Chain A
Amino acid sequence: AQSVTQLDSQVPVFEEAPVELRCNYSSSVSVYLFWYVQYPNQGLQLLLKYLSGSTLVKGINGFEAEFNKSQTSFHLRKPSVHISDTAEYFCAVRLSGGSYIPTFGRGTSLIVHP
């Protein structure tokens, strides 16, 4: 079975600073990886996903993530954050060719200060 660890429960950052939200997974087989964002009192929406091919994936709102197979990581980055990026971010993993039920991390709360 796969598992996902989001190493930071909360990440405070100042506006216009860069940010990295960390995600590590464990799986012995190939996986699909996802990052979702959840704004307060709303559902989740997809930021980006990695299926195969290029390890650098670009998503919406200027976010990108890099898949690192040797380190089993899929860290999310943004070079310059805005106040509006304040939200909860979830990393999720699905086994490639396996169950379509994803496993979610516990989430990282990104807090952007002015």
Chain B
Amino acid sequence: DGGITQSPKYLFRKEGQNVTLSCEQNLNHDAMYWYRQDPGQGLRLIYYSQIVNDFQKGDIAEGYSVSREKKESFPLTVTSAQKNPTAFYLCASSIRDRGGNEQFFGPGTRLTVL
């Protein structure tokens, strides 16, 4: 079955440590996205990538980094520079065109920084 996987589902880290969240898709989508979700704030875009080896900052990129070395994979690193990293992180993908194509979401990773 085609879809998006994120791992791990739950992640605990100590303050000051970098941590990398995994996102893999087998939908053959060019575009991939990372969102952060906090209670009552909806989804905020961190980074997105339109094609391999290319990515752009979203609305809240500070303290995060990404790479897109393969079409299927778009890992997100939460660095120690992110002031409040505890949140639910969602990865998504979509066809990259100007039509009415929806996004497909992974199950999310809940990051807790102790």
Q: Tell me, rounded to whole Å, the shortest Cβ–Cβ distance linking A63 to chain B.
A: 15
- Point out the residue from A41, A49, A98 that lies within 8 Å of B98, measured CB to CB: A98
- Point out the residue from A41, A43, A100, A105 that lies within 8 Å of B105, measured CB to CB: A43
Q: Known contacts being A98-B98, A100-B96, is A106 close to B105, with CB within 8 Å? A: no
Chain A, interface residues (CB within 8 Å), range: 20 to 34
| Residues A35-49 near B (CB distance < 8 A) | 36, 41-46, 49
When the two chains form their complex, are residues A102 and B105 in contact, meaning their CB atoms are under 8 A apart? no
Query: What are the residues of chain A within 8 A of B4 when measuring CB–CB?
Result: 43
Q: Tell me, rounded to whole Å, the shortest Cβ–Cβ distance linking A88 to chain B.
A: 9
Query: What are the residues of chain A within 8 A of B92 when measuring CB–CB?
Result: 43-44
| Residues B22-54 near A (CB distance < 8 A) | 31, 33, 40-43, 45, 48
Provide the bound-state CA to CA distance between A100 and B30, in Å: 12
Q: Which 10 A-B pairs have the closest CB atoms?
A: A43-B105, A51-B100, A106-B42, A32-B100, A44-B105, A104-B43, A46-B102, A43-B107, A97-B98, A104-B42
| Chain A residues in the interface with B (C-beta under 8 A) | 9, 32, 34, 36, 41-46, 49, 51, 90, 94, 96-98, 100-102, 104-107
Given contacts A96-B98, A97-B98, A100-B31, 16 further A-B contacts (CB under 8 A): A41-B108, A42-B108, A43-B4, A43-B105, A46-B102, A49-B100, A51-B99, A90-B42, A94-B100, A100-B94, A100-B98, A101-B33, A101-B48, A102-B103, A104-B42, A106-B40
